Each structure stands twice: as structure tokens, then as C-alpha cells.
Structure 1
Amino acid sequence: MRIGAVFPQLEIGADPKVVRDWTETVEAAGYTHVVAYDHVLGADPANRPGWKGYTDQSQFHEVFVLFGYMAAITTSLELVTGVLVLPQRQTALVAKQAAEVDVLSGGRLRLGVGIGWNEVEYQALGVPFSQRGARLTEQVELLRRLWAEPVISTTGQFHEVVEAGLNPLPPRRSIPIWFGGNADAALRRTGRIGDGWMPQSAPNDRARSQVELVRAAAVEAGRDPAEVGIEARLTLGAVPEKEWPGFVAGWRELGATHLGVNTMGFGLDKPEDHAAVLRDVLPLLRDS
């Protein structure tokens, strides 16, 4: 199981030195990858009674710019979006940004994507919220063609590209696309066309049934289910410390190939404390 660190978006602040120190500490400690969350806008809840979720006070570094910075200061860390809200974005532009990060990092990008939940962002970015599921499936096909072929032509429900292509292309001529989400539709989509699934739950009976659904969808699509990776997420502040080894072992038993360790919500006083906790906890998790 490859163990990565979740970039503490909400608690690390905007000092580039702190971001650099966190990144270098994580790589030196032996983590295999970094997972960064994504949001473009936060909603002001003042006139939105009952609003739940991130707000305008929630800080999010822009993932592609962040990964460009990280690519320059690391040599081995895989850079993972967990997850990029893909349907609210222009697909060709995402293809270009992702390809550039992959080029600058030497082929170290993994693109986790999902449909999102924040209608405020969709409105501001000019994309109908109701179309997000249908857009996502078409986007994945288009991304893969843009990364693989120098010039393409295609017409779909949401996209039209006529004799055009990216330059430079990603070194591998492909970038892994993983899916977030727990709805049955998201799980089936993962099995049909995804390179992996990124759950955020405990390794319980529900998770087992979800893994089985992903694998069944892969088989139905004529794919080897073993080729579909699984990245679990351990949020240290939500799971008692004595249960961390069992959490990791449980997901390993369910077939998880990756694990992301999240230090947000752990009660840390200073931004730099996140790197220290990640450095100290990795040996315990490796032995689980």
C-alpha cells in the first residue's frame, strides 16, 4: 500500500515557505504522494440559512498552480487531486493544465475527479449544475484523447473539437483518472472507465459492498477489476489513535492500493505542525 499525505489546505495558510517546508518534509519522510483538495470559490453563508460546507473563509490553494510549485521542489512525490471538480471546468483547459503539470513533474500527476456539490461554484463558472454527471463522463473520454493524440476531432453533447490538439503532450501520453464519490452511479462509473476510486469512509460492511460494486462494474465493462486502484483516506482527527492500525489493515484487506493521511481537524496549533505529525506517524502506519 502506497501511503500519501493530504495537503492541509484549510490550516496551512498562505506563506509559501510553510508550503515548501511541508512538502519537503513529507517527501523526506517517505510519503509516496500528496493529495490536494479543490474548490474555486467559497460561499458567504450570511444570506444562506442552513448553509453546510466550505465558506468564503475556507482557504483553498489552486491545485494546478500548487502542483506546478511542488513539481519544482520535489523529485519523487506523485501529485494527486482529491478531487478536482471537473464538470464545472472547461475540459480542454483542464487537459492543458494537467498535461503541463505532468510535463514539469516528469509524469507524476494523478487526476482525481468528481462532480462536486457546491452549486454556487457552478453558477459563478457558468456551468449548469444539473448537467454535471453527464458532462463528467464525456469529459473523461475527451481528456484521454487530448493527452494521447497530437490532433483530434470530436463532437459530443457538450464538446466540439475540430482538428486541434495539445502541445506539449504529457510524457506518458496519458494521466491516470480516479473518481471520488459514494453514490452508486459514481461507483459504477469508476468500474467502467476509472483508473481508481477515492473513498473517504471506514473499512466497514458498506465500504465492502461499494468495492464489490466497483469491481462488478469493471467486469461488466470487460475490464480486470484488479486494475482499478483504491485510495482510502485516514483522517487522524476523526479516528482514535488506537484504531489507526486497524483502519489501515481493514482497507488493505478490502484491496486498497493507496492511503492518504489527513491531519486537518487534528487540533494542531501551528501550520508547520502538520508536517511534524505526518513525519512521526508514518512508521506506525507502515507497520499496520
Structure 2
Amino acid sequence: MQIGVTFPQTEIGADPQVIRDYAQAVEGMGYQHVLIYDHVLGADPTHRPGWTGYTHTEMFHEPFVLFGYLAALTQLELVTGVIILPQRQTALVAKQAAEVDVLSGGKFRLGIGVGWNPVEYEALGTDFSTRGRVVEEQIELLRQLWSKEVVTFKGRYHTVTEAGLSPLPVHRSIPVWIGGSSDSALRRAARIADGWFPLGGRMIRCVP
């Protein structure tokens, strides 16, 4: 059994030295991975009666940037739990994930989900209503971009014509885990993911 910690996104603050000390203390205590969750924007609840999600006053460090920092400081496995994949550009996520994987010596696991917050989707110019359909195509394209030097891909939502990433991930693959507790998330994880975890819960590796 591998035991890790969840990075205290909203509590730790913005001091780089505090973040460094936290990560190195976690590693020194014998934990094996650090999991970081993702929100790009928080909503101002002033004109949103009944809003129960994160707000603009709560801090979230950007996971890929933070992992680049942590990769230089620790040997911990780096895990996202989760990147809200459909609100991000797929090729850019592939590039950022590959870079983190290289900098960490192949110790990166990409946990992804579809999210719940239409405010972020609107601000990032993406379609909240299609996120479930988009994410499956994204996972397929990510795996191709990580495994091949040159990719040609034509899907419903993505087109790549004779292009590729460099550097590629250490093992030319990155584990993709799906987070979520809905029936659709469970079915999707069983079909196409390398692992699954209910958000806030334990992680379960998917096996053929």
C-alpha cells in the first residue's frame, strides 16, 4: 500500500519557503506521493444566491507550475486529483504533463475529472455541456501525444496534423486516473482509465 498526502491548497498560503518545507517534511515522514487539486478561478458569490462552491477569496496554486517547483525539491510521486481536463486545451495539458513527468523522473500521475463549475468553463472559453463527451477524446489524444513522436489525429473536438511533443514522458506514457463518484465517471474509469478515485477518497488501480 502506498500512502500519500493531499496538498493543503486553500490553507498553505503563497510563501514558497513554506511550500518547500511542507513537501520536504512530508517526504521525510515517509509519505510516497502528494496529490494536488485544481481550480483556475473562484466565483464571486455576491450576485450568486445560494452559491456553495469555492470563491475568489480561496487560494489555489496552479498544479503543473507547482509540480515543476516540487520536482526540484523532493522525490515524491506527483499526482493531480483532479485536473479539470475539458476546460483545458488538450495539447497544452499533454505538454505540461510530459514536462512534469520528465522533471520528476517519471513520477507523475495525471488524475482528471470533468468538474462541476460552469463559471470556470465560461471564463476559459470552453463548453460545460459537452464536457463528458470531450474528456474521452482528450484521453485518447493525450496517450497518442505521449507515445508517438509525430501524431495525426482527427476527432470530433480535436485535430492534430503531423505534429508532436518534445520532450516525451520518460516511459512514453503517463498513468491517467479518473476522479468522480457518478455512474458515468465509474463507467468511464472502468473502460479507459488506469485508475479511479472518488474525490476525497482512496485511489483504486484499474486492471484489465
TM-score, normalization by structure 2: 0.96
Unaligned runs of 5+ in 1: 204-210, 212-224, 229-288
Corresponding position of 1:285: none
Partner deviation per Cα, 1:113-168 (whole Å, 9 max, x = no partner): 00000100000000010010000000000000000000010100000000000011
Alpha-carbon shift at residue 198 of structure 1 (Å): 1.1
Corresponding position of 1:74: 74
Corresponding position of 1:39: 39
Query: Which SS does the other structure have where 2:70 is aligned?
Result: helix
Letter in 1 for 2:176: I
Letter in 2 for 1:37: Y
Letter in 2 for 1:194: A
Letter in 2 for 1:47: H
Alpha-carbon shift at residue 52 of structure 1 (Å): 1.0
Residue correspondence of structure 1 range 184-195 to structure 2 within 5 A: 184-195=183-194
Corresponding position of 1:53: 53
Residue correspondence of structure 1 range 244-263 to structure 2 within 5 A: none
Q: 1:22 to 1:104 in 2, by over 3 A?
A: same
Alpha-carbon shift at residue 202 of structure 1 (Å): 7.2
Once residues 202 and 70 of structure 1 are traced to their aligned partners in structure 2, the CA distance between those partners, rounded to angstroms, is: 23
Query: Which SS does the other structure have where 2:80 is aligned?
Result: strand
Q: 2:207 matched to 1:227?
A: yes
Once residues 198 and 135 of structure 2 are traced to their aligned partners in structure 1, the CA distance between those partners, rounded to angstroms, is: 18
Alpha-carbon shift at residue 199 of structure 1 (Å): 1.3
Letter in 2 for 1:132: R
Q: 2:76 matched to 1:92?
A: no
Aligned sequence identity (%):
64
Corresponding position of 1:242: none
Letter in 2 for 1:133: G
Once residues 132 and 97 of structure 2 are traced to their aligned partners in structure 1, the CA distance between those partners, rounded to angstroms, is: 21
Partner deviation per Cα, 1:69-102 (whole Å, 9 max, x = no partner): 0000012x10000000000000000000000000
Letter in 1 for 2:91: A
Aligned-pair Cα RMSD in Å: 1.5
Q: 1:200 to 1:90 in 2, by over 3 A?
A: closer
Once residues 184 and 159 of structure 2 are traced to their aligned partners in structure 1, the CA distance between those partners, rounded to angstroms, is: 25
Letter in 2 for 1:83: V
Query: Which SS does the other structure have where 2:79 is aligned?
Result: strand
Q: Which has the larger radius of gyration?
A: 1
Letter in 2 for 1:48: R
Q: 1:104 to 1:115 in 2, by over 3 A?
A: same
Once residues 145 and 62 of structure 2 are traced to their aligned partners in structure 1, the CA distance between those partners, rounded to angstroms, is: 22
Once residues 93 and 99 of structure 2 are traced to their aligned partners in structure 1, the CA distance between those partners, rounded to angstroms, is: 10
Letter in 1 for 2:165: L
Unaligned runs of 5+ in 2: none
Query: Which SS does the other structure have where 1:14 is aligned?
Result: coil
After TM superposition, the runs of 4+ consecutive aligned structure 1 residues lying more than 6 A away are: none
Q: 1:226 to 1:153 in 2, by over 3 A?
A: closer
